Each structure stands twice: as structure tokens, then as C-alpha cells.
Amino acid sequence: MRPITPFLWTLFGAGGTIAALLFPVHLVLSGLAFPLGALEAPSYDVLYGLVRHPVTRLYLLVVITLPLFHWAHRFRYTLYDVLQLKHLYRLIAVLCYSAALLGSAVAAYTVWRIP
């Protein structure tokens, strides 16, 4: 069996990139620009039409899923290094990545069931 560590590091890097580049844009738009009136907020119908498009659904899934794996990897190594829980290596790995997989499954179910 080949180790999956390189794959997990890839998910970590991609999730960190998404979190660093796309989250600030979403926060500025929805937290500052629209509420303060700097930009006109799109109507419900426009947003609903946008969310129904398959490319937008895929984008939402990527924006939600990859940062979950970034969190899982970072939290796992924080528990190892800071709290010195290296003796619980497998348990922590299974719990962290299972939480990320569960969150991804819930996100996929939610995003794809929008009528």
C-alpha cells in the first residue's frame, strides 16, 4: 500500500490557496461592499439563477471542500506538535480526515440538491 501523505499535502496546499485567495473576496463583498452600499447587492432571483448553474455549484463545492481538508491537515499536525499527541497518530488522522470527508459530503449533498 502506498502512503497517501503526498495526496493529503496536495489537498492541504490547495485548501490553503483557496482560503487565502477566495475567502477574502467573499468576505469583502458580502461583509463590507454590499452592506455598506459600495456595490449594489444582487437580487435573490439573480443569485438563485447563478447558484443553479453547474459551474457555480462546482465552484461552491471547491470553495467549501478544499479548506476543510486544509483545516484537517493543519489541526492534525497541531495536535501532534503542540500537544505532543504523537502516540495517537492513527486515531487523530482518522478523526480529522473523516470530519473533512463528512463535511465535504454534506456540502456536496446541499449544493447539488438545490432545485
Q: What is the pLDDT of residues 67-96, one digit of tens each?
A: 999 999 999 989 888 888 888 888 998 999
Question: Is it the case that residue 4 has pLDDT exceeding 90?
Answer: no
pLDDT of residue 1: 47
Q: How many domains does the chain have?
A: 1
Using a CB cutoff of 8 Å and minimum separation of 24, what contacts does 4-13 make?
8/69, 8/73, 8/97, 9/73, 11/66, 11/69, 11/70, 11/73, 12/69, 12/70, 12/73, 12/74
What are the pLDDT digits (tens) for 16-53? 999 999 989 999 999 999 999 999 999 999 999 999 99
The CATH number for 80's domain is 1.20.1300.10
pTM: 0.83
Q: Which domain holds residue 62?
A: 5-112
